[in-house]
Amino acid sequence: MILQASANMVDLNELMNMMCQNRVRAMLRLDNGGRHGEIYFDTGRIIHASCGGRQGEPALFELLAWGNSDVQVFPVEDVPLPTIERGAAFLFLESARLQDERRRFRDPTGT
């Protein structure tokens, strides 16, 4: 294991950005209230995510929406086949857009 952090110690987006910038090959495991998920990086690209039967971008967006999660990062030799093709910048922006839409849907008045 490379890193282990509790929910309020690390900003997930910052950690993932750092992993992309440093071109790591690793698996990031998230635990949040009995839910578990994984995000795989290969030479700095987010290539696969899974949680609750979902894979690819839908799983990644769900994981990013969890908020405070316990995080563990493990080095990996082999990575799964890619289920995510788009770049990290798009994925982070799309995740933020989707989370904003969810907030607006829950509170359409904006209050």
Q: Which helix (H) or strand (E) holds 60?
A: helix 57-65
Interior/surface letters 76-94, b for 16+ CB within 10 angstroms, e for the rest: eeebeeebbeeebeebbee
CB within 8 Å of 69: residues ≥ 6 apart: 7, 12, 30, 31, 32, 63
The answer to whether position 110 is within a domain reads no
Does residue 31 have a pLDDT over 80? Answer: yes
- Mean of all residue pLDDT scores within the chain: 86
The answer to whether position 64 is within a domain reads yes
Does residue 111 have a pLDDT over 70? Answer: no
CA–CA separation, 27 and 21 (whole Å): 15
The answer to whether position 8 is within a domain reads yes
Identify the domain containing residue 50 by its residue range.
3-105
**Count of domains forming the chain:** 1
The answer to whether position 80 is within a domain reads yes
Average pLDDT over residues 26-39: 94
CA–CA separation, 56 and 103 (whole Å): 23
The predicted model scores a pTM of 0.84
The answer to whether position 82 is within a domain reads yes
Does residue 77 have a pLDDT over 90? Answer: yes
Band of residue 1 on the pLDDT scale cut at 50, 70, 90: low
Band of residue 103 on the pLDDT scale cut at 50, 70, 90: confident
